[in-house]
């Protein structure tokens, strides 16, 4: 079985960058769609948080966890399997971002 990978570069507002290599779930239909959605979600979060002092990083993480849980609940199927899949995907993603080394992003 070949391992499908998605490479992603995340850049913080402070100029730190991370090259992240995600191993995709075997049943992933489109790595490009996954990448596009991650990019759009991060852009929406940045837009929402920009210039606001009434939103914390914890608030953002809480909203993302709630959104993931809601989306999972909306799926038809065995809820315990969906919950297990959600935890598995989170753990794999967290492992990938934890393994990524940070560096100062070049500025144009």
Q: Determine contact, residues 65/41, Cβ cutoff 8 Å.
A: no
Hey, how many other C-beta atoms are within 10 angstroms of the C-beta on 8? 18
CA 16 centroid distance within chain: 17
Q: Determine contact, residues 15/108, Cβ cutoff 8 Å.
A: no
Which helix or strand (DSSP H or E) is residue 27 part of? none
Tell the residue number behind the tokens 């995907």, with chain if given: 89
Mean pLDDT by 10 residues, the chain (108 residues): 81 93 95 96 94 94 97 96 97 97 83
pLDDT, residue 108, reads: 57
Going from N- to C-terminal start, the domains of the chain cover: 5-104
pLDDT, residue 106, reads: 78
pLDDT, residue 25, reads: 95
pLDDT, residue 107, reads: 64
């Amino acid at each position: 079985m070949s391992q499908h990978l998605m490479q992603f570069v995340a850049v913080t507002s402070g100029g730190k960058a991370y090259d992240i290599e995600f191993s995709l779930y075997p049943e992933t239909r489109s790595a490009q769609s996954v990448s596009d959605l991650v990019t759009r979600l991060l852009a929406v979060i940045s837009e929402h948080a920009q210039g606001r002092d009434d939103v914390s990083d914890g608030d953002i993480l809480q909203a993302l966890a709630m959104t993931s849980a809601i989306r999972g609940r909306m799926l038809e199927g065995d809820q315990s399997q969906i919950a297990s899949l959600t935890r598995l995907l989170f753990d794999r993603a967290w492992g990938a971002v934890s393994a990524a080394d940070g560096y100062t992003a070049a500025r144009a």
